[in-house]
Structure 1
Amino acid sequence: MTTALSKLHHQVDYLAQQAEQFDNAKWFAKNRYIQAQPSLFDRTVFATKSLQLTDYVDEIKVTLTALPEPQKRHAYAFALEKIATQIEAVIKVLKSTSVWAKENKAHYPKKAKVYRSAVKKVIQSSQELYQELSQNHEFERRLIEMVELRKVQLNNANPTQAHALNQEILTLHARLGRCRKAISATEEKIQLAEKQQTR
């Protein structure tokens, strides 16, 4: 598991503790409006229907442990973004009581931003590697095109031009070799990251 993803897991565990304390305090027990509702959140945010905050944090945990594979970038990013939205929703409920807000203000002033930052780091760690790989492949494609162009030019070149073109081709092949090494290195990083995230 990557450092960023591990940190997010720890923060969700902490959120679960806060939710449990909130439920044990029975903040909504005397609120008739809340008691009449089937759930605390809109169904577009949570599938869970409950008046217990811990049940919603449990849904976040399930989503977090069942994340799509990182190579499925759009689905992976979408799932993490949903987790961020769910975390913010839970924090809003926690902050709805003056006691919780007062107790946590000094120690956790911007908790929602901290959670969203943790989610963002998980997304970036994966997306940046794929972006790097894409850029390297594009660079490789351009170098191959340049080599092929020089080879075509060789057909109509005089001896002096041919010598210069051959030197350029050698230089381009050297750059192409370095580019392919970079591609292999990035692919290894992606494989390592994916193994860590599925542990």
Structure 2
Amino acid sequence: MHSPAFEKLCQQVALLKHQAEQFDRAKLFAKNRYMQAQPSLFDRAIFTTKSMALTDYVTEIEDELKSLPPVDHRHAYQYAIERISNQVHAVFNVIKSTPVWLKENKSNFKAKAKQQVYKHAVKKIMQSSHELYDELKQNHEFERRLNLMIEERKLKMSSASATQAKELNIEILALHARLGRCRKAISATEDKIQQVEKQQLR
């Protein structure tokens, strides 16, 4: 069973595909010599695809989603979800920050001012999104360490004296309490990421 982050990502990709198709149909880069001279819209660190059509990048995202590592390979799965999420944000940013797109979709004189406000908001959202993913990564690392510490103490129990076993039990209970708090923090951070991503989709 996939995580809520995966379900959310699938919804975003479906919306992104629709917007990318509209964007490509509008041929917004056709009259821009600078853009036409570019071999690719994105850095190779983000996408392996080389194209000036956004739908090609959405296809790469869809392929990545189909070949996710198993959910029980937690760190690899989380890393893949994070990478795909960053790819989704990168494509959304091109759609939302292309001046011609904004000009054609906002025909009043305030368009330019709105564009600057939007760019600033997107930058702020992206920044906070990256910070939240860092926080999530740290919390997952704490969770992993706490699980290891619990397992270590459980192993010691088999050869411990009655007094030692009592102390180990107290330590295990304390570690479980910390693990509970850590998992609450993970859930809270995941909720924050979803809120930030909702803002970005507006």
What TM-score, normalized by structure 1, do the two folds share? 0.57
Give 2:77's aligned residue.
76
**SS across alignment from 1:38:** coil
Relative distance call for 1:3 and 1:63 in structure 2 (3 A) is same
**SS across alignment from 1:48:** coil
Give 1:163's aligned residue.
none
More RCO (CA 8 Å, sep 6+): 1
Structure 1 stretches (4+) deviating beyond 6 angstroms? Answer: 104-107, 172-176
Where do 1:154-169 residues align within 5 Å?
166=162, 168=163
Where do 1:46-61 residues align within 5 Å?
46-61=47-62
Give 1:188's aligned residue.
none
Q: Which runs of 5+ in 1 are unaligned?
A: 151-165, 179-199
Alpha-carbon distance between aligned partners in 2 of 1:50 and 1:42, rounded to the nearest angstrom? 11
CA shift, 1:110, in A, is 4.6
Give 1:157's aligned residue.
none
CA shift, 1:32, in A, is 1.6
- Number of residues of Structure 1 aligned to a counterpart in Structure 2: 160
Aligned partner letter, 2:153: R
Query: Are 1:67 and 1:79, in contact at CA under 8 Å, matched by a contact in 2?
Result: yes
Paired-residue identity, %:
40
Give 2:190's aligned residue.
none
Relative distance call for 1:144 and 1:47 in structure 2 (3 A) is closer
**SS across alignment from 1:18:** helix
Q: Which runs of 5+ in 2 are unaligned?
A: 107-113, 174-202
Alpha-carbon distance between aligned partners in 2 of 1:24 and 1:100, rounded to the nearest angstrom? 15
CA shift, 1:11, in A, is 0.8
Alpha-carbon distance between aligned partners in 1 of 2:50 and 2:83, rounded to the nearest angstrom? 17
Give 1:181's aligned residue.
none
Relative distance call for 1:141 and 1:21 in structure 2 (3 A) is same
What TM-score, normalized by structure 2, do the two folds share? 0.57
